[in-house]
């Protein structure tokens, strides 16, 4: 058999490529790596990318099928993005086809052309005027000509329809030779505008120093911009972007959550008149593809997006920013378990552009990279403008009664702040009405039938909800164990706190901000409007509240329960807790008014809390890093976590036992140094959604040794007979051990 063999990356969990012959009638000269092809796969057709072109195949001739069609004339991804995807697949030990399918917009995965959609514009032809005899008795056509005469560059159909003019009217004019259609990209700008809509702020000394460092460097650098909340990190981003755009380049900005987008987007749009596109989960597939193409073709100047936006191709990359770099949402927790923050740094290296990682509470990983000289540290230690740092206070709630999660002294404080006309933020990290339903007579607790977890009580509508597997059931009427009817919700979640505060402060607006209340479109924006109206109000919310928001009128921040992080089983517990408290606290006193932060705790003497309130996040970070070094935990050691789950209790562990044996053999055979294999052990939550879960932890002093081991181990596991009986996955640099 002659002719080229295409090695195609398909969205399959298998870590391999699939061989096909070239589509009929397509010659070698038309084939390039990175083009999409449609191929038969089992009984279906699939779209994949050509990953390699070869002149032979291991597959016997008679089983080698031709691809059905070549979908692109040129590679769908620019070379740098192709290389980023290949690196991602290798680093996270994931199939290239599946990695590419994460990187590509849905429509491209389905075979849609990778071309910009053209806006159709209507434009008058010379010789057309409202009194033209051909339209003398057609008032609608006359009106259309009048409207178009005002718009010499043409009008899109969407705009024309605002005058009540139909497509038919315009088609008739077209047939009379009075108007024409022209095609134009939706991001096209008729005349170049000045870059800035508003002047930038005058940077303060610390911002200036940070900007000088960033703007005077050339090529790839990673900056860790550690700036206390309200220190003006965003202003540093904006001015760095300004320079990037002036140089004719594009800027890519990653933000952690969709909740942040309206505010961030506003600030960018207020500052720049250059086209900004935003990639977030609220876009439909077509909008996403349009934005992606606008970025790839260089028409979008600023691209803002959440985690997966790191895979947006850029025609002229100039700068990558990762805001709130410590945020967990940058790590994908299933499928391709990549960390967009880490990919951003690799991409900066690949494209030779600077990367700014910004946070008030940098991850220990990034701080360690600073110590190692890989990242450069830029610090903003004071708040910008006239804002002062808030004051911290721990409130010992041992043996104090709580109402809706609030102790009496705290409720009094809330009342004082409201009386002064200020806003109050109450932070509670639990959704629902109460975290548990308990029988007051025998101590029975409502548990999920499918998970090792308690059911959360919700009130509107009343039901029990498992936040791990999403199963729901009605509230029990009586205790299944002792038949008592005295069942009580125990503890407080956002709904209960909201209910209490509404009762206690009947004349004040109480806004709840959590996943349930924000599921409605526009809900966040409506809340922002109330918050910025500056009337006294109470915000009750989960960590959704903590992220990046600017609430200028909040003067009191209350953290209802800080104790969870103090005795967490996860070694990252203290780091997370310190980040969360610092971020929530950072919402207080961001404008002229000073802020106060109250932390309710049962452990007011805990050294971590004392250190955090007295010396702040950097002190905690330093202390935790020292402890990690002693305990030989990340970032001082590298981890990969092999997880397995199965319907039968033993299957997951048997599979991991087999994996352990394989791994031990590989370590011995290749003399891999300094590797620990820990487990298999049941996962911290052993049963979830009806499945039994276990894990095997692989740790190493050298990243390369760990990598080599996993790389050899996975193909062996794919072949293992037990592999078909369990669901298993590998997580490189896991952030969540559960």
Known binding-site residue numbers for Zn(2+): 439, 442, 448, 451, 466, 469, 479, 482
Residue 120 CB burial class (10 angstroms; 0-12, 13-18, ≥19): middle
The DSSP bridge pattern shows strands 487-490 and 436-439 to be: antiparallel
Interacting stretch for Zn ion, rule CB under 5 A, among 65-73, 252-260, 363-371, 442-450? Answer: 442-450
Q: Please, what's the b/e burial string for 484-513 (b: 16 or more CB within 10 A of its CB; e: otherwise)? A: eeebebebbbbbbbbbbbbebbeebebbbb
Q: Which does 227 bind (CB under 5 to 8 A by kind): Zn ion, ligand ADP, none?
A: ligand ADP
3 state DSSP class of 695: strand
Closer residue to ligand ADP (CB): 232 or 491 = 232
Token couple for 720: 């293992």
Token couple for 305: 């997006």
CA dihedral over 198, 555, 431, 624, signed as positive or negative: positive
Distance CA 164, CA 180 (A): 19
CB 230, min distance to ligand ADP, A: 4
CB 267, min distance to ligand ADP, A: 8
Distance CA 178, CA 146 (A): 12
Closer residue to Zn ion (CB): 197 or 481 = 481
Interacting stretch for Zn ion, rule CB under 5 A, among 175-183, 256-264, 293-301, 477-485? Answer: 477-485
Closer residue to ligand ADP (CB): 232 or 565 = 232
Task: List, in sequence order, every residue forming a beta bridge with 166; answer none if it has no partner.
Answer: none
Orientation angle between helical segments 607-615 and 573-585, nearest 10 degrees: 40
CB 225, min distance to ligand ADP, A: 9
Closer residue to ligand ADP (CB): 358 or 404 = 358
> Which of 481, 488, 670, 711 is in the footprint of Zn ion by CB under 5 A?
481
Closer residue to ligand ADP (CB): 233 or 593 = 233
Contact positions toward ligand ADP, by CB under 6 A?
A: 201-204, 207, 227, 229-235, 384-385, 550
Q: Which does 281 bind (CB under 5 to 8 A by kind): ligand ADP, Zn ion, none?
A: none
CB 452, min distance to Zn ion, A: 9
- Phi, psi for residue 403 in degrees, rounded to 5: -120, 120
Q: Which does 466 bind (CB under 5 to 8 A by kind): Zn ion, ligand ADP, none?
A: Zn ion
- Cα atoms in the Cβ-side hemisphere of radius 13 Å centred on 511: 22
Interacting stretch for Zn ion, rule CB under 5 A, among 35-43, 361-369, 471-479, 524-532? Answer: 471-479
Tell me how many residues contact Zn ion (CB under 5 A).
Answer: 14
| Nearest to 637, CA basis, from 671, 676, 663 | 676
The rounded Cα 214 to chain-centroid distance in angstroms is 25
Kindly report the number of other CB atoms within 10 A of residue 619's CB atom: 14
Q: Which does 231 bind (CB under 5 to 8 A by kind): Zn ion, ligand ADP, none?
A: ligand ADP
Q: Which does 469 bind (CB under 5 to 8 A by kind): ligand ADP, Zn ion, none?
A: Zn ion
Q: Which does 207 bind (CB under 5 to 8 A by kind): ligand ADP, Zn ion, none?
A: ligand ADP
Closer residue to ligand ADP (CB): 230 or 493 = 230
DSSP 114: -
| Interaction pattern, residues 53-72, with Zn ion; x per rule: CB under 5 A | --------------------
> Which of 52, 115, 189, 442 is in the footprint of Zn ion by CB under 5 A?
442
Closer residue to ligand ADP (CB): 271 or 296 = 271
CA dihedral over 154, 160, 165, 167, signed as positive or negative: positive
Closer residue to Zn ion (CB): 486 or 664 = 486
Quote the radius of gyration of the chain (alpha carbons, Å). Answer: 29
Distance CA 264, CA 134 (A): 51
Q: Which does 203 bind (CB under 5 to 8 A by kind): Zn ion, ligand ADP, none?
A: ligand ADP
Q: Which does 229 bind (CB under 5 to 8 A by kind): ligand ADP, Zn ion, none?
A: ligand ADP
Token couple for 314: 């850029």
Token couple for 133: 């005899």
Closer residue to ligand ADP (CB): 232 or 354 = 232
468 binds Zn ion, rule: CB under 5 A: yes
CB 341, min distance to ligand ADP, A: 17
Distance CA 728, CA 738 (A): 14
Q: Which does 243 bind (CB under 5 to 8 A by kind): ligand ADP, Zn ion, none?
A: none
Q: SS3 letters for 609-623?
A: HHHHHHHCHHHHHHH
Closer residue to ligand ADP (CB): 266 or 352 = 266
| Nearest to 496, CA basis, from 462, 527, 530 | 462
CA dihedral over 239, 305, 343, 195, signed as positive or negative: negative
Distance CA 56, CA 61 (A): 10
Distance CA 726, CA 93 (A): 19
Distance CA 295, CA 315 (A): 7
CB 95, min distance to ligand ADP, A: 38
Annotated binding site: 439, 442, 448, 451, 466, 469, 479, 482
Interacting stretch for Zn ion, rule CB under 5 A, among 445-453, 606-614, 666-674, 720-728? Answer: 445-453
Closer residue to Zn ion (CB): 271 or 643 = 643
CB 475, min distance to Zn ion, A: 14
Task: Check: CB of residue 229 under 8 Å from CB of residue 590.
Answer: yes
Q: Which does 344 bind (CB under 5 to 8 A by kind): Zn ion, ligand ADP, none?
A: none
469 binds Zn ion, rule: CB under 5 A: yes
Token couple for 599: 């932390």
CB 388, min distance to ligand ADP, A: 12
Closer residue to ligand ADP (CB): 204 or 568 = 204
DSSP 66: B
DSSP 445: B
> Which of 479, 527, 581, 666 is in the footprint of Zn ion by CB under 5 A?
479
Q: Which does 450 bind (CB under 5 to 8 A by kind): ligand ADP, Zn ion, none?
A: Zn ion
> Which of 482, 626, 631, 685 is in the footprint of Zn ion by CB under 5 A?
482
CB 557, min distance to ligand ADP, A: 14
3 state DSSP class of 158: helix
Q: Which does 107 bind (CB under 5 to 8 A by kind): Zn ion, ligand ADP, none?
A: none
Q: SS3 letters for 462-503?
A: CEEECCCCCCEECCCCCCCCCCCCCEEEECCCHHHHHHHHHH
Closer residue to ligand ADP (CB): 202 or 460 = 202
Task: List, in sequence order, every residue forming a beta bridge with 434; answer none if it has no partner.
Answer: 457
Binding interface with Zn ion (CB under 5 A)? 439, 441-442, 444, 448, 450-451, 466, 468-469, 479, 481-482, 484
């Amino acid at each position: 058999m002659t002719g080229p063999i295409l090695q195609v990356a398909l969205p399959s969990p298998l870590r391999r490529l699939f061989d096909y012959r070239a589509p009929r009638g397509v010659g070698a000269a038309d084939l390039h790596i990175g083009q999409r092809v449609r191929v038969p796969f089992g009984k279906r057709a699939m779209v994949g990318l050509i990953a390699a072109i070869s002149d032979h195949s291991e597959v016997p001739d008679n089983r080698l099928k031709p691809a059905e069609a070549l979908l692109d004339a040129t590679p769908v991804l620019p070379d740098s993005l192709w290389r980023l995807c290949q690196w991602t697949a290798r680093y996270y030990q994931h199939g290239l086809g599946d990695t590419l399918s994460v990187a590509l917009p849905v429509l491209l995965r389905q075979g849609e052309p990778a071309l910009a959609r053209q806006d159709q514009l209507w434009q008058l032809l010379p010789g057309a005027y409202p009194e033209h005899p051909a339209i003398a008795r057609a008032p609608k056509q006359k009106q259309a000509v009048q409207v178009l005469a005002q718009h010499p560059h043409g009008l899109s159909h969407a705009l024309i329809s605002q005058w009540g003019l139909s497509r038919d009217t315009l088609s008739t004019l077209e047939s009379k030779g009075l108007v024409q259609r022209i095609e134009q990209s939706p991001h096209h700008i008729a005349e170049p505008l000045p870059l800035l809509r508003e002047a930038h702020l005058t940077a303060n000394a610390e911002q200036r120093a940070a900007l000088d460092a960033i703007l005077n460097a050339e090529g790839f650098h990673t900056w860790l911009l550690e700036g206390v909340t309200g220190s003006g990190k965003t202003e540093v981003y904006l001015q760095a972007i300004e320079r990037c755009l002036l140089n004719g380049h594009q800027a890519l900005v990653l933000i952690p959550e969709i909740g942040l987008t309206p505010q961030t987007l506003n600030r960018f749009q207020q500052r720049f008149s250059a086209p900004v596109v935003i990639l977030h989960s609220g876009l439909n597939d077509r909008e996403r593809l349009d934005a992606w193409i606008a970025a790839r073709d260089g028409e979008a100047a600023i691209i803002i997006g959440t985690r997966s936006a790191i895979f947006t191709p850029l025609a002229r990359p100039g700068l990558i920013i990762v805001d709130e770099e410590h945020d967990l949402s940058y790590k994908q927790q299933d499928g391709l378990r990549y960390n967009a923050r880490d990919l951003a740094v690799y991409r900066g290296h690949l494209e030779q552009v600077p990367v700014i990682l910004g946070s008030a509470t940098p991850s220990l990983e990034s701080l360690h990279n600073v110590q190692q000289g890989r990242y450069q540290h830029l610090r903003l230690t004071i708040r910008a403008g006239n804002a002062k740092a808030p004051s911290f206070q721990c409130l010992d709630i041992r043996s104090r009664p709580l109402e809706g999660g609030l102790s009496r002294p705290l409720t009094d404080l809330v009342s004082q702040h409201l009386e002064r006309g200020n806003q109050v933020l109450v932070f509670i990290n639990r959704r629902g009405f109460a975290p548990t339903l308990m029988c007051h007579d025998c101590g029975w607790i409502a548990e999920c039938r499918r998970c090792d977890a308690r059911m959360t009580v919700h009130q509107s509508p009343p039901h029990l909800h498992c936040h791990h597997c999403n199963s729901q059931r009605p509230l029990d009427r009586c205790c299944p164990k002792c038949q008592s009817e005295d069942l009580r919700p125990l503890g407080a979640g956002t709904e209960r706190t909201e209910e209490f505060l509404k009762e206690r402060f009947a004349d004040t607006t109480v806004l709840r901000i959590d996943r349930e209340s924000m599921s409605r479109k526009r809900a966040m924006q409506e809340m922002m409007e109330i918050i910025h109206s500056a009337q006294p109000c109470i915000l009750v919310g989960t960590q959704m509240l903590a992220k990046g928001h600017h609430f200028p009128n909040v003067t009191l921040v209350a953290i209802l329960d800080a104790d969870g992080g103090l005795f967490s089983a996860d070694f990252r517990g203290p780091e997370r807790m310190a980040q969360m408290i610092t971020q929530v606290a950072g919402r207080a006193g961001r404008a002229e008014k000073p802020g106060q932060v109250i932390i309710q705790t049962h452990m007011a003497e805990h050294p971590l809390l004392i250190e955090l309130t007295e010396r702040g996040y950097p002190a905690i970070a330093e202390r935790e890093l020292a402890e990690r070094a002693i305990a030989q935990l990340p970032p001082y050691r590298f981890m990969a976590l092999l997880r397995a789950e199965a319907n039968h209790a033993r299957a997951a562990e048997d599979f991991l036992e087999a994996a352990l044996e394989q791994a031990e053999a590989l370590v011995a055979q290749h003399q891999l140094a300094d590797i620990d294999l820990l487990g298999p052990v049941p996962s911290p939550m052993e049963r979830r959604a009806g499945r039994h879960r276990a894990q095997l932890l692989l740790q190493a002093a050298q990243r390369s040794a760990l990598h080599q081991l996993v790389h050899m181990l996975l193909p062996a596991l794919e072949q293992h007979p037990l592999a078909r009986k369990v669901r298993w996955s590998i997580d490189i640099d896991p952030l969540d051990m559960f």
